[in-house]
Amino acid sequence: MLVFNNVTLIDGTGGKPIQKSTVIIRGNRFEHVGSEISYPDDSNIIDLHGLTVIPGLIDCHIHLGGLTIEKPGKAIGKVSFIDMVSFFWDYLRNYNHRRRLALENGVTTIRSAGDHYPHIIRLREKIATGRLSGPRIFA
């Protein structure tokens, strides 16, 4: 059992932050979130005094690959083969960086708004089966 104690909790309901809260995790499930309660002495207790816990955030419109266009004019009209290959290479490389960045910033769920198929589907499957860490993906 993992116990985060003495934390400020923002529960996402619009209410005021709850001071001196306790978050208890058993296995991979939240067992308790809220006011301080008692817990077994053999629990792994982490004092989070001065820190805040929030629910996971959802990004409803994201391109994990990114939209990195250095010269906007290239998006319209003729594009060289070299530029196209470079764009797709950067796009695919961004997937790993941005999935980690999402989690580091509290985003636990994303809705992909047009990432390349089948890459986004493969990434979604790897995350869903635990082979990669990352936010839950709807694509």
**CATH code of the domain covering residue 30:** 2.30.40.10
Pair 93, 111 in one domain: yes
pLDDT for res 79: 66
**How many structural domains comprise the chain?**
2
Q: Do 40 and 98 fall within a single domain?
A: no
Rounded to an integer, what is the distance from CA 3 to the centroid of its chain? 22
Asked if the bond preceding 118 is cis, omega within 30° of 0, the reply is yes
Continuous segment of H or E residues that includes residue 124 = helix 119-128
Per cent of the chain over pLDDT 90 is: 55
Q: Where are the alpha helices (DSSP H) in 36-118?
A: 81-104
Indicate whether 37 and 90 sit together in one domain. no
DSSP string, 11-36: -SSSSPPEEEEEEEEETTEEEEEEE-
Provide the whole-model pTM.
0.73
Q: How confident is the model at residue 69 (pLDDT cuts 50, 70, 90)?
A: low
- Residue range of the domain that includes 36: 2-53
CB neighbours of residue 22 within 10 Å: 21
